[in-house]
Chain A
Amino acid sequence: GAVVSQHPSWVICKSGTSVKIECRSLDFQATTMFWYRQFPKQSLMLMATSNEGSKATYEQGVEKDKFLINHASLTLSTLTVTSAHPEDSSFYICSASPLEIVGHTQYFGPGTRLTVL
């Protein structure tokens, strides 16, 4: 089946530092990858849509200079949280849509828990 991995699974960093999270589709190519954020006991909130070879599309209220997204290949997208602060602490989840399957199919990674001290 379609597998999406994320690395790291958890990270603790100091305030002011930057953190990079990787999202990989392991056995399929993904034209589109999505980044979500989940606060405790709350919904997954879509942050941005990442298309290979083009700039990411950010949802309203998401700072693009704060959350840098790069989708350099059909199997890899990265999210960099720049100058992280405690309020950025959250669970970040990516998903990917396979190249050959159309319509409403997203495969999710296991998530990355970020804690900013």
Chain B
Amino acid sequence: GDSVTQMEGPVTLSEEAFLTINCTYTATGYPSLFWYVQYPGEGLQLLLKATKADDKGSNKGFEATYRKETTSFHLEKGSVQVSDSAVYFCALSMYNNNDMRFGAGTRLTVKP
């Protein structure tokens, strides 16, 4: 079935380091792809999304490009901050809201 596999953490970086969190997907069709972020004590928030191949989603300095050829949607940020410490979830959705599939989540800790 449709699924998402993301890099397991935890990931610990120093402030201003470059971040990559890998995410690959398996789907029978053409999914929409998402990155959600969960800050401590809060709900999941949509960070960015892409709905078709070669689309790039971006928000708050984070970027991810929908790569159909490698079935990937890796999350990147050029310079992380302490405030980026959170759990990041990759997800896909087929056709409608009902079919949201999540990765296991990657915990990021950024140290000053």
Chain A residue nearest in CB terms to B98: A49
Task: Please report the number of residue pairs spanning A and B whose Cβ atoms sit closer than 8 angstroms.
Answer: 54
Chain A residue nearest in CB terms to B6: A43
- Check if A67 is an interface residue, CB within 8 A of chain B: no
Count of residues in B whose CB is under 8 Å from the partner chain: 26
- Check if A42 is an interface residue, CB within 8 A of chain B: yes
- Given A34-B97, A43-B101, A97-B97; 9 other pairs, CB 8 A cutoff: A34-B100, A44-B102, A46-B98, A46-B101, A93-B44, A104-B97, A106-B46, A108-B44, A110-B41
> Helix, strand, loop or mixed for chain A's interface?
strand
CA distance A43 to B106 in the complex (A): 10
- How large, as a class, is the contact surface on chain A? 20 to 34
B43 A107 Cβ-Cβ under 8 A: yes
Q: Encode B39-60 as 1/0 by CB contact (under 8 A) with A.
A: 0011111100101000000000
CA distance A41 to B7 in the complex (A): 12
Q: Which residues of B contact A42 (CB under 8 A)?
A: 104
Q: Which residues of A contact B100 (CB under 8 A)?
A: 34, 46, 106
Q: Taking beta carbons and an 8 Å cutoff, which residues of B are in contact with A? A: 4, 8, 32, 34, 36, 38, 41-46, 49, 51, 89, 93, 96-105
Chain B residue nearest in CB terms to A5: B43
Q: Which residues of B contact A97 (CB under 8 A)?
A: 97
- Check if A74 is an interface residue, CB within 8 A of chain B: no
Most buried by A among B8, B89, B93, B98: B98
Closest-CB distance, A46 to chain B (whole angstroms): 7
Chain B residue nearest in CB terms to A102: B97
- Check if A4 is an interface residue, CB within 8 A of chain B: yes
A109 B43 Cβ-Cβ under 8 A: yes
Most buried by B among A97, A107, A108: A108
With A44-B102, A104-B32: A111-B43 Cβ-Cβ less than 8 Å:
yes
Closest-CB distance, A70 to chain B (whole angstroms): 18
CA distance A107 to B43 in the complex (A): 8
Closest-CB distance, A43 to chain B (whole angstroms): 5
Q: Which residues of B contact A110 (CB under 8 A)?
A: 41-43
